[in-house]
């Protein structure tokens, strides 16, 4: 990947999309390591993380992650999900963050040299093209090694550079040593400003907690998660 020491870099992380990609590859992301890795590549201006929140629940599985990121170098962009009933009478949750991410990218573009987009959503192809016309280089981070591939082919082709998420696994994966932290009530959790192991433990809890939270969002936003046809990438690549 081509990064230059003096270039101004910003990260734009589609939270549910990145989570789905990492889960499909079988590893958890250590967000402290991720931030440190990209901060070492250039002049990191900002790292944005986008996620909708299930706020009608007594305990939101995503909230510990959001709190930890907010205290540890990430700029959080969140909004509450909206619940509705579809034509078949099924309860659905809407929590798409594409507009928020696109607006921030366009507003920041004039102050950046390099944008790193953590998403495989093909809807961002036009956004990538627009900031490239401003002279900004765009790197897309996702995966083609899941089944089906999580990155839309049109987005991968538009990017200046594509980073396969599995290639980053050695430097951003969370260590499995010690397993998952024991789930704690909010009053019992370590303060989210704590870095290191205790801070990381505060954002994870049992694996099924984040799974449950993000599964609800992913079910509501299936069209934004990469390729739907497993053969689509192979046909067009």
Can you give the pLDDT at residue 30?
A: 97
Cis amide bond preceding 117, omega within 30: no
Q: What does the pLDDT read at residue 1?
A: 60
pLDDT of res. 98:
95
Lowest model confidence (mean pLDDT) among 11-20, 64-73, 205-214: 205-214
Domain limits, the chain: 8-236
**Strand 137-142 to 161-164 pairing:** parallel
Q: Which CATH superfamily groups domain 8-236?
A: 5'-nuclease (3.40.50.1010)
Helix (H) or strand (E) holding 75: strand 75-80
At 218 the three-state DSSP class reads helix
Percentage of the chain beyond pLDDT 90 is: 59
Which residues neighbour 225 within 8 Å (Cβ) at sequence distance 6 or greater? 16, 17, 20, 120, 121, 150, 218
């Amino acid at each position: 990947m081509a990064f230059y020491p003096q270039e101004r870099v910003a990260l734009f992380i589609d939270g549910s999309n990145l989570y789905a990609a990492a889960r499909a590859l079988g590893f958890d992301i250590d967000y402290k390591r991720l931030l440190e890795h990209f901060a070492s590549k250039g002049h990191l201006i900002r790292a944005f993380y986008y996620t909708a929140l299930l706020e009608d629940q007594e305990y939101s599985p995503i909230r510990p992650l959001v709190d930890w990121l907010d205290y540890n170098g990430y700029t959080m962009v969140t909004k509450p999900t909206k619940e509705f009933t579809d034509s078949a009478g099924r309860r659905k949750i809407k929590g798409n963050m594409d507009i928020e991410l696109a607006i921030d990218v366009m507003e920041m573009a004039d102050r950046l040299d390099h944008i790193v987009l953590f998403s495989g959503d093909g809807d961002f192809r036009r956004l990538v093209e627009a900031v490239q016309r401003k002279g900004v280089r765009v790197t897309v981070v996702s995966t083609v090694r899941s089944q089906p591939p999580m990155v839309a082919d049109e987005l991968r082709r538009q990017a200046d550079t594509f980073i396969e998420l599995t290639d980053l696994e050695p430097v951003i994966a969370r260590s499995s040593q010690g397993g998952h932290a024991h789930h704690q009530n909010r009053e019992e959790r370590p303060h989210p400003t704590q870095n290191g192991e205790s801070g990381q433990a505060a954002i994870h809890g049992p694996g099924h907690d984040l799974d449950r939270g993000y599964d609800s969002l992913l079910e509501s936003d299936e069209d934004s998660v990469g390729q739907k046809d497993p053969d689509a990438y192979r046909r067009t690549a």
